[in-house]
């Protein structure tokens, strides 16, 4: 895992702010899960780190690229149908966990974040606390 991924995973705001000088580094995907720093901060419930990255211009819709042999078992992962082969693909919103989940989801959504796939599922609506979407579903 690259240093920037570790900074994000640990919520190191000072390190993240310094790294924002090179925004392209935030697009890098690690070899472990194929996640960006924003994926890690989102998954580890580092709300302030997520906000700093978003305010710094990092895209909320960075697509992951997990290793082919890695089996994904999180129930909220979207699947990208790639012909006969299926690769798990996720955006940061797909992997948000922890006590700051609602805040992180809200911040990602405000910056244009979306779940992988075009339609919001009932599960996503519940995560987003989107009452209108839940009632229409």
pTM: 0.76
Is 80 exceeded by the pLDDT of residue 4?
Answer: yes
Residues 41, 54: Cα–Cα separation, whole Å: 11
- What is the structure's pLDDT at 33? 86
Burial letters 50-66, b for 16+ CB under 10 A, else e: bbbbbeeebbbebbbbb
Domain total in the chain? 1
Residues 34, 28: Cα–Cα separation, whole Å: 9
- What is the structure's pLDDT at 85? 44
Residues 137, 124: Cα–Cα separation, whole Å: 11
Is residue 76 very low, low, confident or very high in pLDDT (cuts 50, 70, 90)? very low
**Which CATH number does the domain housing residue 129 bear?**
1.25.40.20
Instruction: Determine the average pLDDT of the residues in 108-132.
Output: 71
Boundaries of domain holding 81: 3-136
- What is the structure's pLDDT at 1? 57
Residues 51, 120: Cα–Cα separation, whole Å: 23
């Amino acid at each position: 895992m690259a240093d920037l991924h570790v900074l994000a995973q640990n919520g190191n705001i000072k390190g993240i702010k310094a790294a924002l000088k090179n925004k392209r580094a935030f697009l890098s995907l690690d070899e472990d899960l194929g996640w960006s720093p924003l994926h890690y901060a989102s998954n580890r419930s580092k709300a302030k780190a997520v906000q700093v990255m978003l305010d710094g211009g990092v895209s909320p819709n960075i697509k992951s690229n997990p290793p082919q042999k890695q089996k994904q078992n999180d129930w909220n992962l979207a699947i990208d149908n790639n012909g006969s082969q299926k690769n798990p693909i996720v955006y940061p919103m797909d992997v948000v966990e922890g006590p700051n989940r609602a805040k992180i989801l809200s911040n990602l959504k405000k910056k244009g974040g979306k779940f992988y796939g075009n339609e919001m599922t009932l599960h996503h609506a519940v995560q987003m606390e989107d009452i209108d979407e839940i009632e229409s579903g």
